[in-house]
Each structure stands twice: as structure tokens, then as C-alpha cells.
Copies of this chain bind each other. A is one copy, B any other.
């Protein structure tokens, strides 16, 4: 397995096609329902929101979806992303584990989000769309889409969860530097926003509310479409460039992961690293354990109900079957803003249901402790979201030590923490706390989980 600490690919190794896991699933994922009729949705129903090409990808059963040349050229701005062996961390942990991490923080926005942002902007541009509208929590997605829109001369509007808008002005500044407009959500620009502000003028917002606002704006204007940074099938498919590159890089390392770890909010970076490996498992090529790590304060996979639910608070989105805490659940203010979502990508939920992955929940103090240890060993400071993956990898490495077994652990370091220093300051100042998720049944009843049959 050599002595290298980094495994690089050339530009020509950027994948030619995304991987669509649906092609390899033994059981197809449950259908999507129309929000008004609760009947099967027709692809045409999505046309107000998405261009035709992305709707086709959303329902595609093709294993490979070709990456357009222009998207591959833009990928070159940060791809192939490096894969590292965490030798210094292994030493510090005195573990026999071989720990690898794929590092997506080298993108201009500092996370994996541009992988789908440039693809979505491309297809919208091809379809003659003039403007994209989206939501963002901590701002990773908003800044990535703003950058991508700018590449293609598209206008971009971002509804940013108010608490982040107020507390994280720097991500907002990055979005604005890329030329996009940012509105604090809930806003008075939409009916959904006004309805919430009427009840609670000081509402600090949530991803679910911001999605409602963005969807509402897109639905009202033919030249405006909606873009989502996670959850949807086509978004997860775009992110598989991460795992497809990692597959090649593990070959360079002359090794193969025994276990793959990713953090899950909406599920896209996790799917990105894991799906190509799960596909190999499904096709009987090579086995692998896969662990999704979610925040204990927003534990959709470990404590949510697997049920049809809305993606947003105002119930404008289609109903999808997913692990959910209820569409009006407002997660507490822990620091991994990118993981503060009530639901989980239907495809990630599905692979959990069919036993292809495991899920664990991690408290933020454990996540930050792991992230700081990692940063001191490897130099790279992970984003708070990524700290959950680091903590998951750490648990696996400790198990290897306890069991005296050398396993290869691969995790996705989905972004750097340079925009998240306030969270680290709060952590060192002892201001961070763990959050217990309330009793699941009570919480979900409060959070308006609909009664549509599972």
C-alpha cells in the first residue's frame, strides 16, 4: 500500500459520466407524489421548477449519465480533488486502521456543492432559463450556485435562512461577490414568507421555509427555475464524481475501503462518496460497509419516520418518501448549518431501508473534538458538517484499535471550515452544547408529519 500520503489524478481522469445508483437497485425507490393530489407525479408536473434535462435525470434508470463537456471543463477548476491517506492522524490514534479521506474543500466555494451547481446551471442555461432561485442555510450551497450562475450568465437569487443571514454575513458576502442577490428568509417577497412573518415577525427561519419561498418564486415566472443543493436524485447523481474519483484513487493506493463514512444532512455529499462503492456491492463486485453520520440534534435517519413528507414548510414541493422528522420541525441552533434539514434524500433513505448502509448520530461536541484533533494532525480544518464524518471515521478507527484489526476507512471531507471560525471559537469558549432530540413521536406530531400512508 506504499508510503504515499496523497493520491492525485490527472484532468483526464475526471469522470466522463455520473453514476446513477437507481440502475443497480434491487428494489426501485418509491414514487414521488403530487403535493396537491397526493397521486403519482408526472414528469411534466415538475416543469415549472426544473428544466427538462434535469427532470429526465431525476427519473432516469440509466446507470451512466454523460457529463457535458462544458461541465467537465468547469470541473477542472477544482477537480480531480485529492485523496489523502491520514498517516499523521493514524499515528496519533495509534490505530492499525488505514484512514483515507477525499478532500472536497479545494473547490472555489470550499465544499462539494459546486459539483452539482455547475451542472444545474449548465442545463438551465441550455434550456434558455434566465434566472435561478434557491435557498441556503449556512451558505455553502448559495455561494456555489451563485458562482455557477455567474459562469453561465444566469441571474441568481438566494433565500438565506435569517439566522445565518444575520450571524454569518461572510457567506452572504461571498454569494454577493459572485453577483447574486440574497434575501433573508422568511421574507416579505413571497406569500409563504409573509404568512410566517404574520404569525412570528421575528421568525429566525429554516431551510424548509426558505425552500418554500424559492419554489414559490420559481413557480410564478416562466424564465425562473428552482435549484436545490441536495436531496433530489439528480443532485446526488452529480455528486458521484466524488466517489468515482475516489474509486480510481483507491486503486492508485492499491487498497479498497472496508468502510466508507460520510456526514448526512440532505444526503448529497454522502451519496457522492458512497454510491459508486455501493453500486459495486449491489453488482456483486466488491463488498463494503457504509456508515452515514448525522447530527444527534437532527437525526432523520436514526430517529425519523420513513414516510411520505414534504420537502418544505409551506408544502409546495412534491411528497417524497424519506426519513423525516416532519416538515415543520425546526432543528436547534447547532453549528453544522448544512445538516439542519428535517428530511433525508429519498435515495439515501431507500438504501438504508434495503440494508445497504448503516446510520449513526453524533453530538456536536464529539464532532468538534474530532475535527480539532484531525486539524492538528492533518492541517486541514474541516467544516462543522464535515466534523461529523471525521467523528464517524474516528469511531471506526478506534474500533480497529480495540479489535486489533487493520481496516481501510474512507471518509469524505466535504468542505473546509474557514467560514466557520465562529463555531470553533464558541467550541473553545465552552459555549457549544449537545442537543437531545425530543421524544420522536411527540416531535413529529408537532412537526406536522402528514398522515399519507407509508
Q: Which residues of A contact B (CB under 8 A)?
A: 4-6, 8, 10-11, 73, 76-78, 84, 88, 106-110, 114, 147, 150-151, 169-171, 173-174, 176-179, 372, 375-376, 378-381, 416, 418-419, 421-422, 424-425, 428
10 pairs of residues in contact across A and B, judged by CB atoms under 8 Å: A4-B76, A8-B10, A77-B84, A108-B379, A109-B379, A151-B379, A169-B425, A176-B428, A416-B418, A419-B421
A376: chain B residues at CB < 8 Å are: 150, 177-179
Given contacts A5-B77, A173-B422, 10 further A-B contacts (CB under 8 A): A6-B11, A77-B378, A107-B379, A108-B416, A170-B422, A173-B424, A174-B381, A177-B376, A177-B381, A418-B418
B424 close to A5 (CB less than 8 A): no
Given contacts A151-B88, A428-B176, A428-B177, contact A77 B379 (CB under 8 A): yes
Chain B residues with CB below 8 A from A147, complex form: 379
In the complex, the 7 A-B pairs of residues with the closest C-beta atoms, listed nearest first = A108-B379, A170-B421, A418-B418, A173-B421, A108-B380, A173-B425, A6-B76
User: Which chain B residues lie closer than 8 Å to A428 at the CB level?
Assistant: 173, 176-177
A3's nearest neighbour on chain B, judged by CB, is B73
Q: With A108-B380, A376-B179, A379-B108 in contact, is A421–B77 under 8 Å at CB?
A: no
A10 CB contacts on chain B under 8 angstroms = 8
Q: How many copies does the complex hold?
A: 2
Name A418's contact: one of B84, B110, B375, B424 (CB within 8 Å): B110
**Shortest distance in angstroms between A68's beta carbon and chain B's nearest beta carbon?**
15
- For A4, the chain B residues whose CB sits under 8 A away are 11, 76
B77 near A108 with CB under 8 A, answer no
Of all chain B residues, the one with the shortest Cβ separation from A80 is B8
Q: List residues of chain B with CB within 8 A of the CB of A8.
A: 8, 10-11
What chain B residues lie within 8 Å of A76 (beta carbons)? Answer: 4-6
Contacts of A378 in B (CB 8 A): 77, 108
Complex Cα distance, B426 from A176, in Å, reads: 12
Once the chains bind, are A5 and B177 in contact (CB under 8 Å)?
no
Bound together, the chains give a CA A440 to CA B355 distance in angstroms of 74
Q: Give A174 to B107 CA distance when docked, in angstroms.
A: 20
A88–B77 CA distance with the chains assembled, in angstroms: 11
Q: Once the chains are docked, how many angstroms separate the CA of A67 from the CA of B8?
A: 21
Assembled-state Cα–Cα distance A174/B150 (Å):
30
The answer to whether A424 touches B381 (Cβ under 8 A) is no
Contact partners of A425 in chain B: CB under 8 A: 169-170, 173
Complex Cα spacing A77 to B105, Å: 13
A10 to B252, CA, bound (A): 12
Q: A424 and B77 in contact (CB under 8 A), knowing A6-B11, A108-B380, A419-B418?
A: no
- What is the bound-complex CA distance between A19 and B421, given in angstroms? 36
Which residue of chain B has its CB nearest to the CB of A426? B173
Instruction: Report the bound CA distance from A109 to B417 in whole Å.
Output: 11
User: How far is A107 from B260 in the complex, measured between Cα atoms in Å?
Assistant: 25
